[in-house]
C-alpha cells in the first residue's frame, strides 16, 4: 500500500491487489471484488462524503 500527499494532505492511497493486504472501506473489500461493483461502491461512497474520484 502506498500513500500519496499533496501540500501535506493525504491525496491518494494505492493498493496492490496481488500482494495485499486486503483492505476494506466501510466493510467493502477493495481488492478481489468484482471491478464493476467496486467502481460503483467507490463512486457512491465518495459522493456520500462530498468527494470525487479521479
Q: What is the pLDDT of residues 1-54, one digit of tens each?
A: 788 999 998 888 887 777 767 889 899 998 888 889 989 999 999 999 998 887
Q: What is the pTM of this model?
A: 0.66
- What's the Rg (C-alpha) of the chain? 12
Angstrom distance (rounded) from CA 39 to CA 10? 20
SS3 assignment, position 43: helix
Answer for the pair 17, 31: CB distance below 8 angstroms, yes or no. Answer: yes
Long-range contacts of 26-32 (CB under 8 A, 24+ apart): none
Nearest 5°: the CA angle 44, 16, 39 is 20
Amino acid at each position: 500500500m502506498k500513500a500519496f500527499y499533496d501540500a501535506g494532505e493525504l491525496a491518494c492511497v494505492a493498493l496492490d491487489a496481488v500482494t495485499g493486504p486486503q483492505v476494506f472501506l466501510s466493510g467493502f473489500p477493495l481488492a478481489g471484488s468484482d471491478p464493476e461493483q467496486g467502481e460503483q461502491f467507490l463512486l457512491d461512497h465518495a459522493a456520500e462524503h462530498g468527494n470525487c474520484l479521479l
